[in-house]
Amino acid sequence: MSRSVIVLVSLLLLAGCASNPYLEQSLKPAAQRHESKDWFEKEWGKPSGASKRFWGGETWTYYRIAGGTQRILGGINPHECEITLYFNKEGTLDDYSYSSGC
């Protein structure tokens, strides 16, 4: 019994940590091409927030609503998606990450 519970919990954790194929199709090629901040601002709009990185460069954060779940008494609980872009000193995309809500 306990073994099956452990397996079930493990599978749920793995499913929760899965990546988003739609975001990966957009972000991975952009990272490989080392797209600039200007390109992202043109394609995605202004970021929700920006901050300087310790060793130079910038971190941009975008917040988006990515669907939602219906409430019991009506309405929707939105799923918030946080996308973080890390730019190097030259202003090109160095790395990226996004939250599990995406």
Domains in the chain (CATH in brackets) are 20-98 (3.30.1450.10)
pLDDT at residue 79 greater than cutoff 70 = yes
pLDDT at residue 73 greater than cutoff 80 = no
Global pTM value = 0.68
Q: What is the mean pLDDT of residues 78-83?
A: 80
Nearest residue to 34 via CA among 99, 98, 88: 88
Cβ atoms of residues 78 and 70 within 8 Å: no
Q: What is the mean pLDDT of residues 54-76?
A: 80
pLDDT band at 18 (very low <50, low <70, confident <90, very high): low
